[in-house]
Structure 1
Amino acid sequence: MVKIIYEIVPHDGGWAYRLGQVYSEAFGTHDQALEAVRIVVAEQQVGDEPVTISYQDENGRWREEYSDGGDRPEIEVVDAFVETSAPPG
């Protein structure tokens, strides 16, 4: 199972959620960023219809895989926010 870890972090004078080195848009408050990541997490937990997926691998070969639509990632939100914290700037 795939595990995805989002972090709530100061960003661009506000707050954002981050996945790896990719940031969301900046939100004015910590709570807004936290609510936004909660919406994203909820959407990622919704299953889908079974489907066959075709894709080209790193060697240029075409592959096909069957997805039952129920394989959802494990998700963790890391929020090291402390009440006295404020974004820089």
Structure 2
Amino acid sequence: MVKIIYEIVPHDGGWAYRLGGAYSEAFPTHDQALEAARIVMLEQQVGDEPVTISYQDEAGRWREEYSDGGDRPEVEIVDTFVDEQRPPA
């Protein structure tokens, strides 16, 4: 199973959630960024219809996979900033 970890981080004068090297939009407060990450986390858990997925792999070959629509990733939010460590937004 795939595991996705969103981090709550200071970003662009405010706060954002980050996945890998990609940042969300900047939110004015830490709590708004945390709530947005929670919403995205819940959306990750919603199943879908079964479908065949076509994609190109790293070597340039086209692949097809069947997805049953229920194979949702495990999702976690990491927030290492406690109140007293939060820089002003």
Which category of TM-score, normalised to the shorter sequence, fits these structures? over 0.9
- Give matches, 1:21-36, under 5 Å: 21-36=21-36
Q: 2:57 matched to which residue of 1?
A: 57
RMSD of aligned alpha carbons: 1.4
After superposition, give the CA deviation of every residue in 1:51-88 in whole Å (9 maximum; x if it has no partner).
Answer: 01111222222211100000000111000121113336
Moved more, 52-61 or 2-11: 52-61
Shift of 1:26: 0.7
Unaligned runs of 5+ residues in structure 2 are none
- Give matches, 1:34-53, under 5 Å: 34-53=34-53
Which AA in structure 2 matches 1:28?
P
Q: 1:18 matched to which residue of 2?
A: 18
Structure 1 consecutive aligned stretches of length 4 or more whose deviation exceeds 4 Å: none
TM-score normalized by the length of structure 2? 0.92
Count the aligned residue pairs.
89
Partner of 2:36: helix, strand, or coil? helix
Which AA in structure 2 matches 1:29?
T
Unaligned runs of 5+ residues in structure 1 are none
Assess if the C-alpha contact under 8 Å between 1:13 and 1:87 holds in 2: no
